[in-house]
Structure 1
Amino acid sequence: MLKVGLTGGIGAGKSAVSARLAERGAVIIDADRLAREVVAAGTEGQAEVVAAFGAEVLGADGELDRPALGARVFGDEEARRRLEKIIHPRVRARTAELTDAAPSDAIVVNDVPLLVETGLAASYHLVLVVTADEETRVRRLAETRGMPAEQARSRIAAQATAAQRAAAADVLIPNDGRLADLDALVGALWRDRLVPFEENLRHRRAAPQDSRLVIAEPDPSWPAQADRLIARIRRAVGADAQVSHIGSTAVPGLPAKDIVDLMLAVPTLDRADQAADALAAAGFPRRQGEWFDNARNVPGATWPKRLHGSADPARPVNLHVRVIGSPGWRFALLMRDHLRADKAARDDYAAAKERWRAEHADAGAYAEAKEPWFDREATAAEAWAQSTGWHPGP
């Protein structure tokens, strides 16, 4: 089962995306609908709301007077938190029930307006954020809800910012244009990413990586992408897990293959094996085979590790699971920090990458060509570590 979080600011058109995903077969769990359901007439939730805010928030029909309740909590942080403590646990429980009832091969889309504000992003395999500029959102709110412009802008300002949502987003879905354009975007997302992601996840297999050698220009979003992946890994194996962004995508300004390298540090390989199922369920299936690190002049030719990939076909990942204190663990952190700190070393690596790219057409030959440079880098980085007092860190 693939769990997708869908969010967007008020007026962005999240419901239009949700409807198009539903048309293609997604199981939609609408948090707004559940929030109304758990405080409907006759429920314990409603009784608790009335006890907290008074009978004036109850309408003549026995349902909550939502505008009256909204007016009570808008702009009052303490009141808002009191209401959330009543509603949110009930919504979470109902969401879990509906998720458990979905088929094992379902793509479950959780439509959550406050996904970013409530810190839920890491609980999904993928987060979709619907975007639209403020003027478009104000106009939509006036047309669909009769909301005055001043009130609309106030509601927009009270939510997460566009930058905060972008930081949580694996996919940004612009919704400023025609519905036909939106439909095409959602259709491509469903076909090319969500469906194969679910299949890979269900079969516990990593999406295949392209064997062709493509070196990308530095992407400033790589660290944010790594942060989102790390949050999911920690949620799967423990909040205190030592997970690091390593490799070329962790070095600002360095060209790299568009593959995010991460490292999970474990006390023993037995612990790595024990975590394999949880990692696979989170979208990081183990790659089959025996994997080793070159010891780089440390006694012992190679050091074993585990390697996991990504079930997401649009975000290649190498998750190296290494024993704390092993040469491979140390070198991954040392090389990253050395290249971040030493511009000459970084420039030399970038130039070498360009040479290897010109000489080799496939990723395997490229990787083999790098080995002598890595041996030299190990010596240079070790000297840098000794001179600076470096020690391994996340």
Structure 2
Amino acid sequence: MLLVGLTGGIGAGKSVVATRLAELGAVLIDADRLAREVVAPGTEGLARVAAAFGPQVLAADGSLDRPALGARVFGDEAGRRTLEGIVHPLVRARTHELAAAAPADAVVVNDVPLLVEVGLAPTFQLVVVVEADEPTRLDRLVRDRGMTPDAARARIAAQASDAQRAAAADVLLRNDGTLGALLAAVDRLYRDRLVPYEAGVRSGIVSASDGAAVIADPDPAWPAQAARLLGRVGHALRDVPGVDLAHIGSTAVPGLPAKDVIDLQVGVPSLAVADDVAAALGAAGLPRRPGEWADIPRGSVGTGEDRWPKRLHGSADPDRAVNLHVRVTGSPGWRLALLVRDHLRADGAVRDAYGALKRRIAAGAADIDAYADTKEPWFDTEAAAAEQWAARTGWRPSAAACASAG
């Protein structure tokens, strides 16, 4: 099963995307509909809302008077939080029930208008955001929903910003063009990414790589992608004590060319804990890599292909390659991964020389294994240089380097 979060600003066209995904075979869970269901007449939710806001939010027939409630909480931060504290837990509980009832091979799409606002992004294996320029959204709200321009602007301003939604998005679907273009993009997403991603999660199989040693130019999107993945890992391991998380490797160094693979590190108290959390990581879309699960005796000190004991996971998402290194916090491999990253961040000359070396080796490498083997001696030299830098600067792994799960 794959859990997808779908969101977008009012007027962006999220409902069109949700409908299309359902037509393609996804199981759709509509948070707005559930929010209405949990406060229907006779429900616990309606009784709690009436108790919190008074009988004036009830219609003559005993149902919820939504305009009256909206007027009561709009612009009232405390009132809004009270309402959310009643409705959101009930919606989450019902969402979990519906997801649990879906087929084992389902792509479950949770249509959640306030996904970003309430911090739900890490609970999904993929987040899809539908976006459109504000003038387009305003025109749709006035034309199709009968809002006044001022009312439409107020509704847009009350939601998360485009930048906040984009930061949470693994997939951005633009909806400023034709309906046909949007539907075609949704079809490609479902066929080429969601369906194979679901199969990988269900079977515990890392998405296959073509094996080529391709070095990409530095991508400013890499840190944001890593942050989203770390959020997902942190949520999956939220009940595991003593876990720390970090973005490591070349994509964690601004300005450094790299393979388009996000390297992440999970620090755990012991390798036994690493084994215990394997299933949770797999359920989050990061299954363990076959053949690289047992302890491996230390050889050289390389961080890219670390031969110290660890557990290695990859990504079931065909569009986002990941190496997730699970190491014992404080171990030599854990420390060196952070040290080399920080040394490269601090010394632009070393970073640039390493980037040039990577490009030269990749140009002559037959495949990714040959590339890694040829590059390995650099790590031995860099480890010594990084240790000297650490001694000069007093470097230590810090809270800034390693975010805690939770």
Q: Shorter-chain-normalised TM-score: which range? A: over 0.9
Q: Which residue of 2 aligns with 1:128?
A: 128
User: What is the distance in 2 between the residues matched to 1:186 and 1:157?
Assistant: 27
Is 1:385 matched with 2:374?
no
Q: Report the CA distance between 1:305 and its aligned residue.
A: 1.4
Output aligned runs, 1:137-286, within 5 Å.
137-238=137-238, 241-286=243-288
Is 1:310 matched with 2:306?
no
Q: Which residue of 1 aligns with 2:342?
A: 337
Question: Structure 2 counterpart of 1:49, which letter?
Answer: V
Alpha carbons of 1:302 and 1:136: their partners in 2 closer, same or farther (altered >3 Å)? closer
- Post-superposition Cα deviations, 1:56-108, rounded to whole Å, max 9, x if no partner, equal 22223432221221111110101111111221111111111111111111111
- 2:315, 2:322 within 8 Å by CA — same for their partners in 1? yes
- Post-superposition Cα deviations, 1:152-188, rounded to whole Å, max 9, x if no partner, equal 0011011101111011110011111111001100000
User: What is the distance in 2 between the residues matched to 1:44 and 1:109?
Assistant: 26
Is 1:359 matched with 2:364?
yes
Unpaired runs of 5+ residues, structure 2, are none
Alpha carbons of 1:302 and 1:161: their partners in 2 closer, same or farther (altered >3 Å)? closer
Q: Report the CA distance between 1:235 and its aligned residue.
A: 1.2
User: What is the distance in 1 between the residues matched to 2:307 and 2:109?
Assistant: 44
- 1:45, 1:87 within 8 Å by CA — same for their partners in 2? yes
Output aligned runs, 1:14-53, within 5 Å.
14-53=14-53
- 1:333, 1:392 within 8 Å by CA — same for their partners in 2? yes
- Post-superposition Cα deviations, 1:213-243, rounded to whole Å, max 9, x if no partner, equal 2111111111111111111111112266211
- Post-superposition Cα deviations, 1:17-60, rounded to whole Å, max 9, x if no partner, equal 00000000111110000111111122221122222222222223
User: What is the distance in 2 between the residues matched to 1:170 and 1:189?
Assistant: 11
* More off after superposition, 267-276 vs 195-204: 267-276
Report how many residues are paired.
Answer: 392
User: What is the distance in 2 between the residues matched to 1:47 and 1:238?
Assistant: 33
Give the TM-score taking structure 1 as reference length.
Answer: 0.96
- 1:295, 1:327 within 8 Å by CA — same for their partners in 2? no
Q: Report the CA distance between 1:357 and its aligned residue.
A: 2.0
SS of 2:373's equivalent? helix
User: What is the distance in 1 between the residues matched to 2:61 and 2:309?
Assistant: 67
Q: Report the CA distance between 1:302 and its aligned residue.
A: 4.6
User: What is the distance in 2 between the residues matched to 1:178 and 1:63?
Assistant: 39
Alpha carbons of 1:99 and 1:26: their partners in 2 closer, same or farther (altered >3 Å)? same
Q: Which residue of 1 aligns with 2:88?
A: 88
- 1:18, 1:28 within 8 Å by CA — same for their partners in 2? yes
SS of 1:67's equivalent? helix
Unpaired runs of 5+ residues, structure 1, are none
User: What is the distance in 1 between the residues matched to 2:103 and 2:285?
Assistant: 18
Q: Which residue of 1 aligns with 2:75?
A: 75
> Please, what is the CA RMSD of the aligned residues?
1.6
Is 1:348 matched with 2:353?
yes
Q: Percent identity?
A: 66
Question: Structure 1 counterpart of 2:348, which letter?
Answer: K
Alpha carbons of 1:295 and 1:356: their partners in 2 closer, same or farther (altered >3 Å)? closer
User: What is the distance in 2 between the residues matched to 1:34 and 1:80?
Assistant: 18
- 1:303, 1:326 within 8 Å by CA — same for their partners in 2? no
- Post-superposition Cα deviations, 1:122-162, rounded to whole Å, max 9, x if no partner, equal 00000000101111111111122210011100110111011
User: What is the distance in 2 between the residues matched to 1:55 and 1:145?
Assistant: 28
User: What is the distance in 1 between the residues matched to 2:272 and 2:287?
Assistant: 17
User: What is the distance in 1 between the residues matched to 2:152 and 2:248?
Assistant: 43
Q: Which residue of 2 aligns with 1:375?
A: 380
- Post-superposition Cα deviations, 1:299-346, rounded to whole Å, max 9, x if no partner, equal xx9522111001111110000111223322121111100000001100
- 1:6, 1:111 within 8 Å by CA — same for their partners in 2? yes
Question: Structure 1 counterpart of 2:383, which letter?
Answer: A
Give the TM-score taking structure 2 as reference length.
Answer: 0.93
